[in-house]
Structure 1
Amino acid sequence: MQDVIYIFDRKLKMGRKNLTVMRLGRCIAFLAAAAFLLPFTILLMVADQQYHLTYNSKRVFYQEFLFENGTQQDGLLTRDKFMEVNARMVARREFLSSECARLGLDGSSSKAYAWEYLINRQYHVIWCNIFKAASTSWMYNFNLMANYTASFLDKTKVVLLELARKKYARPTVEMIKKAQADSITFLIVRHPLERLASAYNDKIVHAWPKSFHDKMGQRIIKKYRKQLSGNSPAPKERYPVFEEFVAYVLDEWKAKRTLDMHWTPYSGFCTPCKFNFDVILKFETLDEDQRFLIQLARLQDVVKPEWRNSGKGPNTLHNMNHLYSRISRTQLDGLYNLYKFDFLLFNYTVHGYYDIVQEDKESNG
């Protein structure tokens, strides 16, 4: 028995010794691996931090070479102007966030829509396309980023949106939220009533003969011309005049029918309270805003801050007073209610338009 105990004790001591040696070996191996991997780990941490600074937290990443060597011919902003526009973007983001919370549009009760978004994974940019808000210019840019050549885009007869959708599949909400982790998300907004006037001028007044919008215009005339003119002489135009068009849009909205994409409220299909937008460009400051975006996203070698307006006819701004002087106060009330969230979320006002419109006629109530 003693021999057995001796052998057991000896094995136990040897086992403890071997265990100690094994533990010591593991410690040495761990320290050696750590010594080897530490520089690499630090490098990864630094790279990851820079990556997060550039994309995830969306802090301004100074492109020193561009600031120091760029010229006005490059279309680049100076450092001071860049920071000025950046401050403007911060204010717009904060305003949007506060309004979303105030109006209750950021909760689970409201649904997110992804239909009009385009995600470019190569350049890490996400855009919600708002028709009649520099959409032609940026559809062209997204086609450039999809590797269509400028010479091809300038010659093709294919609609830019159709070309783009061959490269950018319509995403899901989940796809957008996942891509936002390392992308710059932006949209371009415009005063709702200015956008409506632009859509009217482009799609109704200058509709291609026998096109979808030309046929729409004829239906509007048939329904509203006699109704609105009453005992007054009927308009002679072969297209709907503005008050007829507005009556049609408001009736479609009240009937809860789907509005044309060129004048449907953009707060509805971009659902800006459901996604985090990093850059909010406005039509009123578009030149500086898009230069800022191009520089921030480092797209200056791919796209240029060009203005590609497919609209036809006179400049919309010069036409605004004439158009809105034709509608009634009641119609303006209706337009405000239709575009209420577009007004509120992006800090636009309707007040000045009440000085332009007509007082309601007694026969119209």
Structure 2
Amino acid sequence: MFNIYFKIKFGSLIALLIIPTAIPEGGKYQYPWLEQISRQEQLMLGCDNISKMSRSFNTSSLDHILVDHKHKLLYCYVPKVACTNWKRVLMVLTGESNATNLIDIPASLAHSENSSLKLSQLDLPQAQSCLKDYTIFLVARHPFERLLSAYRNKFMDSLPSSKYFQSRYGRHIIRKYRPHATISDIKSGANVTFREFVLYLLKEGAFSNEHWTPIYNLCLPCSLNYTFIGHYETISEDAKTILNMVGAPPITFPVTRYGHTKERLKYYFQQLSIHDIKALYKLYEPDFKLFGYGLEDLLGYDLA
């Protein structure tokens, strides 16, 4: 029994990969290629339907794509979509780490500038050659779940990285979007509310930091020919599929989800008006359309 993976270039079939089917626990066969066809079709339809459509790019706009020459693999990392663990995987694949348990690789090391080669570090002909010949993938997540995860991690946690965000962005947000903010509130920057954060995005845009910049802008999915579209909701299965596709050594992808973001989504979005939600949806509309996400679970109906 085999799985079939289609690599689709908008409008035409350009590549076909066949690898053995994985048999999950429970004895039933999985057909990830079938789901992949659906995701690729969703991406193509989304790119056709959004007015921005494809964008030109140069090497500097490929800063989020990491390179593994050994396995001919390109990964566009998206913050708050398991990118720390994928960076750990890339470190093992490229020989930057010999860790057998990927969680042993410190997150700070995985995110360091020297941990992975970026496509933007290559000259344009080299980058174009990689984009043509290598397997390239990204992992998507529900835009509002990703946004809430970024908010909770950067404005509610007490980690050193969170302190930076509270100082860099929190002070500005409180000063500008909290009526009658006290001096101590502004000086701290540590107690930004979710609605204040959303107002900041709606008034000033979603491009000030990669943690809340839309995937559409980070990974250029309407300009680049992605071989595989992963989803956060099926990260374990998708990771196995991707690693099998490139002939990677046995690697157990670490799944570390402790935030329960999906369960908390309604609680936080109840702090917003329907006007706020519609405006926020508009801000992230390309990601909703490109990757097949909606608002039915949150609102009971979709805005698309």
**Alignment TM-score > 0.5, same fold:** yes
Q: Tell me which residue corresponds to 1:59.
A: 16
Q: Say which of 228, 231, 242 aligns to 1:279.
A: 228
Report the alpha carbon displacement of residue 57 of structure 1 after superposing the two structures with TM. Answer: 4.6
TM-score (norm 2): 0.79
What amino acid does structure 2 have at the position aligned with 1:259? S
Cα gap change, 1:218/1:196 in structure 2, threshold over 3 Å: closer, same or farther?
same
Report the alpha carbon displacement of residue 88 of structure 1 after superposing the two structures with TM. Answer: 1.0
What amino acid does structure 2 have at the position aligned with 1:132? K
Q: Tell me which residue corresponds to 2:152.
A: 201
Residues in 2 aligned to 1:157 and 1:288: alpha-carbon distance in whole angstroms: 22
> Are 1:95 and 2:42 matched, yes or no?
yes
Q: Tell me which residue corresponds to 2:204.
A: 252
Is the 1:126–1:185 contact (alpha carbons within 8 Å) kept by the matching residues of 2? yes
What amino acid does structure 2 have at the position aligned with 1:93? Q
> Are 1:114 and 2:66 matched, yes or no?
no
What amino acid does structure 2 have at the position aligned with 1:306? P
3-state DSSP class of the match of 1:206? coil
3-state DSSP class of the match of 1:162? coil
Is the 2:36–2:228 contact (alpha carbons within 8 Å) kept by the matching residues of 1? yes
Cα gap change, 1:284/1:58 in structure 2, threshold over 3 Å: closer, same or farther?
same
Cα gap change, 1:175/1:334 in structure 2, threshold over 3 Å: closer, same or farther?
farther
Report the alpha carbon displacement of residue 195 of structure 1 after superposing the two structures with TM. Answer: 0.3
**Root mean square deviation, CA, Å:** 3.2
Map residues 1-365 of structure 1 onto 2, 5 A cutoff: 57-63=14-20, 80-81=29-30, 84-103=31-50, 105-107=52-54, 110-112=55-57, 113-147=61-95, 148-150=97-99, 154=104, 156=106, 158-165=108-115, 167-168=117-118, 170-171=120-121, 174-208=125-159, 211-215=163-167, 216-226=169-179, 238-253=190-205, 258-301=207-250, 303-308=251-256, 314-354=259-299
Report the alpha carbon displacement of residue 335 of structure 1 after superposing the two structures with TM. Answer: 0.8
Report the alpha carbon displacement of residue 186 of structure 1 after superposing the two structures with TM. Answer: 0.4
Give a deviation string over 1:114-134, Cα, whole Å, max 9, x none.
Answer: 121112111011111111111
Report the alpha carbon displacement of residue 316 of structure 1 after superposing the two structures with TM. Answer: 1.1
3-state DSSP class of the match of 1:345? helix
Is the 1:329–1:354 contact (alpha carbons within 8 Å) kept by the matching residues of 2? no
Cα gap change, 1:195/1:174 in structure 2, threshold over 3 Å: closer, same or farther?
farther
Report the alpha carbon displacement of residue 240 of structure 1 after superposing the two structures with TM. Answer: 1.0
Q: Which moved more, 1:91-100 or 1:129-138?
A: 91-100
Is the 1:58–1:278 contact (alpha carbons within 8 Å) kept by the matching residues of 2? no
Give a deviation string over 1:171-214, Cα, whole Å, max 9, x none.
Answer: 46654431133321100000100000000111111143683212
Is the 2:19–2:244 contact (alpha carbons within 8 Å) kept by the matching residues of 1? no
Cα gap change, 1:350/1:138 in structure 2, threshold over 3 Å: closer, same or farther?
same
What amino acid does structure 1 have at the position aligned with 2:150? A
Report the alpha carbon displacement of residue 138 of structure 1 after superposing the two structures with TM. Answer: 0.3
Report which of the two has the higher share of helix: 1
Is the 1:131–1:261 contact (alpha carbons within 8 Å) kept by the matching residues of 2? yes
What amino acid does structure 2 have at the position aligned with 1:331? D
3-state DSSP class of the match of 1:323? helix
TM-score (norm 1): 0.66
Cα gap change, 1:184/1:79 in structure 2, threshold over 3 Å: closer, same or farther?
farther
Cα gap change, 1:196/1:162 in structure 2, threshold over 3 Å: closer, same or farther?
same
Residues in 2 aligned to 1:192 and 1:340: alpha-carbon distance in whole angstroms: 9
Aligned residues: 275
Residues in 2 aligned to 1:264 and 1:238: alpha-carbon distance in whole angstroms: 21
Report which of the two has the higher share of strand: 2
Report the alpha carbon displacement of residue 285 of structure 1 after superposing the two structures with TM. Answer: 1.9
Identity across aligned pairs (percent)?
Answer: 23
Residues in 1 aligned to 2:149 and 2:231: alpha-carbon distance in whole angstroms: 15
Residues in 1 aligned to 2:226 and 2:107: alpha-carbon distance in whole angstroms: 33
Give a deviation string over 1:295-335, Cα, whole Å, max 9, x none.
Answer: 2222143x3222145xxx74212211111111111211121
Residues in 2 aligned to 1:203 and 1:170: alpha-carbon distance in whole angstroms: 27
Give a deviation string over 1:139-168, Cα, whole Å, max 9, x none.
Answer: 111111121121697255743121555544
3-state DSSP class of the match of 1:62? strand
Residues in 2 aligned to 1:345 and 1:142: alpha-carbon distance in whole angstroms: 25
Q: Tell me which residue corresponds to 1:363.
A: none
Residues in 2 aligned to 1:71 and 1:85: alpha-carbon distance in whole angstroms: 11
Cα gap change, 1:95/1:155 in structure 2, threshold over 3 Å: closer, same or farther?
closer
Select the structure of larger CA radius of gyration: 1
Q: Which runs of 5+ in 1 are unaligned?
A: 1-52, 229-236, 357-365
Is the 2:155–2:191 contact (alpha carbons within 8 Å) kept by the matching residues of 1? yes
